[in-house]
Homo-oligomer: A and B are copies of this chain.
Amino acid sequence: MPTAPEEMTLKVIAHIHTAFPTKFGIPRQSGLVDELRGEVIFTPEYRNADAVRGLEDFSHIWLVWQFSGAVRDSWSPTVRPPRLGGNTRMGVFATRSPFRPNPLGLSSVRLEGIEHRPDVGPVLIVRGADLMDGTPIYDIKPYIPYADCHPDAAEGFTGQTQFHRLQVQFPPELLAQVPQADRAALTGVLAGDPRPSYQHDPQRVYGMEFGPVEVHFTVDGEVLTVTGIARR
């Protein structure tokens, strides 16, 4: 057996830019809100058009990234997945929790296109990313359906709860204050219920930062109502 190194050091090859300056509101998996737009911008050493040659022929890609908002020195063998109500403990390796021995994230996102910009080189335009703005990326790989897609895979605990979708009431005068390009994505994020695990106070006003705006809303039963929009 070859001797394995005990540690490996990774270099940041890119950062992603998304509408989420904080963790609050980020969908719990990639692909849930396809309208969410992200831009992957390479760090200077990797700004090379040759390095992405042929990537545009794939419709989906993998991002391997760091849960940069969740780095801890210690680890816990169990975590509480929000999908189980936040009360049931599961093994950390049976979840996609950010709090894991190595804070590595893995997301498949749709590749909408590649733009070549004079200042930063190739930029990957992606849809559906569940990453915070500025997240460091360590690898980009093509999604290869014959190897990566297992339609009959058992869903484990993720199949135990239905997707929870809220009805979003977005008063037109408030929606008009959101840039046109952000409206569908923001509405999709709100429908996915961005509240922390299962709070149920209909009086509570939540605030969420999304791109250039801060959104305020309340949730009563299955209805989310936007109550205010402010420029950040």
Contact = CB atoms under 8 A, between A and B. Distances in A.
Interface of A: 1-13, 15, 17, 21, 29-32, 46, 48, 50-55, 57-60, 62, 64, 66, 68-69, 77-78, 89-96, 100-104, 106, 108, 132-136, 138-158
The complex is assembled from copies of this chain, and their number is 2
A101 to B, nearest CB: 5
A156 B93 contact: no
Contacts of A17: 1
A134 B108 CA distance: 27
Contacts of A7: 9-12
Contacts of A29: 144, 146-147
Given A31-B147, A157-B57, A12 B4 contact: yes
A10 to B, nearest CB: 5
A57 B160 CA distance: 11
A151 B153 contact: no
A3 B8 CA distance: 21
B147 A149 contact: no
Contact of A142 (B95, B133, B148): B95
A149 B60 CA distance: 10
